[in-house]
Structure 1
Amino acid sequence: MKHQFVLDANWYGGRNSEGTIESGNLKTAISIPQPMGGPGTGTNPDEMLLGAAATCYIITLAAMLERSSITVAQLTMKSEGIVDVTNNIFTYEQIIHRPEIVLHAESADQVEKATVLAHKAEQSCMISRAITGNVTITTQPLISIAD
């Protein structure tokens, strides 16, 4: 079975102009971010790649925890994308995921298993697999027990 995703894009000028994209529930303005010399309108490819990687990872992690019968009180995450600029060439170097998994007290014995799954989810995520070899992806989980 194959799934097809279609995105429509419009661009209204040169490098420092703006555009729009639309795909399913995603509809937004786009441009080059201000730190890279653009107008900073809407989102940009760097944020979207980070968003795709983070979304895929956290959904994969949630599914793996659920399948392993680990009861999660809260699952949050911060992700960071690092882009290098050398000789005016932009290279997306690294994505760091920092999931925070809070387990219910009755799951305290499952901290080690949750840690293993936090790292394994990165290898199982479709987006991570798609960019492996081009972007370094690391996971720094923090796992705690709810009060």
Structure 2
Amino acid sequence: MGTVHTYHIDSTWTGDRGSVGKIQAEGLTTDISIPANLGGPGVGTNPEELLLGAAAGCYLMTLCTLLTNRGISYSKIELHSEGYVEDDHGLRFDRIEHHPTIVVDAGTDEAMVKRLALHAEHACMVASALRGNVVVQVVPTIQVQTPAS
């Protein structure tokens, strides 16, 4: 058996569904509440944003690693992610869409960058945990950076 990595979050909640709780981890402390669009106070973040944030962060770091391992230089990766929660006889996280924009130098193999952007979702640990329950889609945009004159 390989190395086991353990992560911890401590949470507190007092009051009813209109209250505000708190989560705390090594690099994160934030208020949490039921989102306003679900009838809560909308203070701090919520489980839906945290799940989306975990998927987006994992995808971004996986893509960065894949590009680096292939020796593909880039000046920036911007990622916009959207999470879709269906309310069909109960709430269900239906799908996540990642829209990465990868800025590369002229002459970079754009097709390879696109393949790696698509592959990053399959290699991401969080996406692997969600697979079979939540559809995760990637719609990459590759921007070629023109050299300064």
Counterpart CA distance in 2 for 1:4 and 1:133 is 24
Partner amino acid, structure 2, of 1:140: V
What is the root-mean-square deviation of aligned Cα atoms in Å? 0.8
| Bigger proportion of residues as helix | 1
Partner amino acid, structure 1, of 2:31: A
Counterpart CA distance in 1 for 2:69 and 2:115 is 14
Partner amino acid, structure 1, of 2:76: Q
Residue segments in structure 1 that go unaligned for 5+ positions in a row: none
Fraction of identical pairs, as percent: 40
Partner of 2:44: 42
**1:68 has 2:70 as partner:** yes
Deviation at 1:92, TM superposition (A): 0.4
The alignment covers a number of residue pairs equal to 144
Deviation at 1:13, TM superposition (A): 1.1
**1:90 has 2:91 as partner:** yes
More moved, 66-75 vs 48-57:
66-75
The superposition leaves residues 59-84 of structure 1 with CA deviations (integer Å, 9 ceiling, x where unpaired) of 00001001101110211110000001
Partner of 1:81: 83
Residue segments in structure 2 that go unaligned for 5+ positions in a row: none
The superposition leaves residues 90-139 of structure 1 with CA deviations (integer Å, 9 ceiling, x where unpaired) of 110000000001111142xx101001000100000000001111110000
> TM-score of the superposition, structure 1-length normalised?
0.95
Partner of 2:126: 127
